């Protein structure tokens, strides 16, 4: 079985990751971007949805959610843990999102939590046009990007916010948030892990 680039290590640690992620409420994990999440029910794309915690949170707010997760060891248990009918699960991955792009759908909110830093520079340049094409006019793209020690067996890159902002600008996505927050996990805080929170809005209405 071929491992999707960037997902290294997740299948082996799936059980522990479920315990960690599900122990932190989504609203706490995303406190820095709560004001950017649509209040009215809409269409949300959660890329790298992992345990489904965030997808379930969006569904509970009335949104329809497409949850993209390429790791079987994460996606299959997540579907069982969060069986809400408003969530559709897809086996797909960046940078191309081939399955999703074929459907020609667009979304009010596209969410990437702990995903972008798994892509190398070439993949990031390929991925940004795909993300922009999935946003409706006036839609919002939110990214949460990790910085700090790389866990053993993982593939991560330290990405300056300025690079991502420039890639987004080239796709007519305008930055509305650029800030850093500490980790929600005590172990990561002690290790010096911090997160960049970026958000972009596509022009139009």
Cβ-based neighbour number of residue 106 at 10 Å: 15
Q: Which residues of 152-190 are buried (b: 16+ CB within 10 A; e: fewer)?
A: eebebbebebeebbebbeebebebebeeeeebbeeebee
Angle at 131 between CA 92 and CA 185, to 5 degrees: 75
> pLDDT tens track of the chain, all 205 residues?
345 555 444 566 777 778 878 888 999 999 999 999 999 999 999 999 999 999 999 999 999 999 999 989 889 999 999 999 999 999 999 999 999 999 999 999 999 999 999 999 999 999 999 999 999 999 999 999 999 888 778 889 999 999 999 999 999 999 999 998 776 666 665 667 899 999 999 987 5
pLDDT at 179: 94
**What DSSP character marks residue 115?**
-
Domain 14-202 sits in CATH 3.40.50.720: no
Closest CA to 10 of 44, 46, 50: 50
């Amino acid at each position: 079985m071929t491992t999707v680039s960037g997902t290294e290590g997740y299948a082996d640690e799936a059980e522990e990751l479920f315990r960690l992620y599900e122990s932190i409420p989504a609203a706490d994990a995303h406190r820095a971007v709560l004001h950017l999440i649509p209040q009215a029910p809409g269409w949300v794309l959660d890329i790298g949805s992992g345990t489904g915690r965030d997808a379930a949170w969006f569904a509970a707010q009335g949104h329809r959610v497409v949850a993209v997760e390429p790791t079987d060891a994460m996606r299959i248990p997540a579907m069982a843990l969060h069986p809400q009918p408003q969530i559709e699960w897809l086996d797909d991955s960046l940078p191309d999102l081939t399955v999703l792009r074929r459907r020609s759908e667009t979304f009010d909110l596209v969410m990437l939590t702990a995903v972008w830093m798994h892509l190398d520079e070439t993949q990031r340049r390929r991925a940004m046009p795909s993300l922009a094409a999935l946003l409706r006019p006036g839609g919002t793209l939110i990214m949460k990007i990790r910085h700090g020690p790389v866990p053993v067996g993982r593939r991560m890159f330290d990405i300056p916010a300025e690079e991502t902002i420039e890639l987004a600008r080239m796709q007519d996505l305008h930055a509305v948030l650029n800030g850093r927050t500490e980790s929600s996990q005590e172990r990561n805080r002690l290790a010096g892990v911090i997160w960049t929170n970026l958000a972009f809005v596509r022009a139009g209405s």
